Amino acid sequence: MAFPRGPSWAFPDEKISVRGMEFSVETIEGFGRGSSASIRSKTIRIRIPRRLRREKAAEIRSKFLGWAMRKLEKIDPAQLEPEQRTISFSNGQEILLMGTKLRVSLLVSGGRAYGRIGGGELRLNIPATLPEEMRPKTLHELARKAISLSFHDEVYSLAQEINNNHFHVEFSGISFKDQKTRWGSCSRKTKRISINFRLLFAPPSVLRYVIAHELAHVRHPNHSQRFWEFLSKAVPDHKIQRAWLRKNGHSLGSVATNQVSAGQAMLPNNQAGPDAGSCV
Ligand SMILES: [Zn+2]
């Protein structure tokens, strides 16, 4: 009998679904005695010693799968979503805003500049006469205005819902700002809160966290223990949301243009990203 080259067991890669998200499961051979498993982005990798018998290998594999499923049930979905959330203005590009998918439809025509959202599309039109070096900035502005207008009511309702269910503070409205240094702010005088427009590209749980953070500042204009306790009423897992922002915030909503012209253009990416919201 020939000495087997691979392990005596082999498990084909498979896909499993947890909370509507798909994960690949890979089972690989290990040369040591121990077995292990890891979850990295959307792959569960199980390592099993090659010399084990198939029965034993299958038993270990199913134990690790159980472990991974339990772990994934608890993890915030925000941690598992793709980290690159740059808008790329190529025709047909899909962007995700507040969990809604939109297709970018880009037109360079003789008409005037406009941006509009409707029918599942973000339509952007720039005049052919616009100098090339101005296109990225113009597109960013058109997109920002169209997105802010289209999502304002939904974000306002979300803020009202958070406030009515948890805080009951005096609150008069919400606006979007395109800021480099802040995720949000609030005015105790006017009782309005402002949210960085780029948060619309974040996972909904992260947007919800920043809205709640600013609303909580209407009551507690500081980051005291009492502020965090108050905020926890609406967002018990605020630490997870903050960690996501710190890690991924810098890529949110920045604009990459690659098919607008023959050349390639990129708006400078703010590597550091804004700080967590603060109150004025
Ligand atoms: Zn704050």
Collect residues with CB below 5 Å from ion ligand 1.
277-278
Tens of pLDDT, residue by residue over 115-169, are 999 999 999 999 989 888 888 788 888 988 999 999 999 999 999 999 999 999 9
245 Cα–ligand 1 center, Å: 13
Judge whether 113 and 125 are in contact, CB under 8 Å: yes
Task: Please give the distance, rounded to the nearest whole angstrom, from the Cα atom of residue 278 to the centre of ligand 1.
Answer: 4
CA of 77 to the centre of ligand 1 (A): 23
Which of 75, 94, 124 is the last residue in one of the domains? Answer: 75
Q: State pLDDT tens for residues 216-246.
A: 999 999 999 999 999 999 999 999 999 988 8
**pTM for this structure?**
0.63
β-sheet bridge partners, residue 244: none
> Is 190 among the domain residues?
yes
Residues 86, 68: one domain? no
Identify the sign of the CA torsion 73, 79, 83, 86: positive
Report how far residue 232's alpha carbon sits from residue 226's, in angstroms, rounded to the nearest whole number: 10
Find the 102 Cα to ligand 1 centroid distance in Å: 31
For residue 101, what pLDDT band results from cuts at 50, 70 and 90? confident
Mean per-residue pLDDT, 56-72: 87
Q: Please, which residues have CB within 8 angstroms of residue 277's CB and are 6 or more apart in sequence?
A: 182, 183, 184, 185, 186, 210, 213, 214, 217
Do 248 and 85 form a contact (C-beta atoms < 8 A)?
yes
152 plus 58 within the same structural domain: no
* Cα angle 224-75-229, degrees, rounded to a multiple of 5: 15
1 part of a folded domain: no
Angle at 175 between CA 235 and CA 178, to 5 degrees: 95
Q: Are 16 and 25 a contacting pair, CB within 8 Å?
A: yes
User: Is the same domain home to 113 and 56?
Assistant: no
Residues 43 and 88 in one domain: no
Residues 44 and 166 in one domain: no
Q: What is the CATH number of the domain that holds 245?
A: 3.30.2010.10
Average pLDDT over residues 20-36: 80
Cα-to-centroid distance, 243 and ligand 1 (Å):
14
- Tell me the CA–centroid distance for residue 255 and ligand 1, in Å: 27
The answer as to whether 146 is a domain residue is: yes
Number of domains observed in the structure of the chain: 2
Rounded distance from Cα 248 to ligand 1 centre (Å): 18
Q: How many whole angstroms from 146 Cα to the centroid of ligand 1?
A: 27
pLDDT for the residue numbered 253: 67
Centroid of ligand 1 to alpha carbon of 49 (angstroms): 49
Q: How far is the CA of 225 from the centre of ligand 1 (A)?
A: 12
Cα(221) to centroid of ligand 1, in Å?
Answer: 8
Compute the distance from residue 27 Cα to the ligand 1 centre, in Å: 44
- Of the three residues 60, 75, 90, the one that is the final residue of a domain is 75
- Domain span holding position 32: 14-75
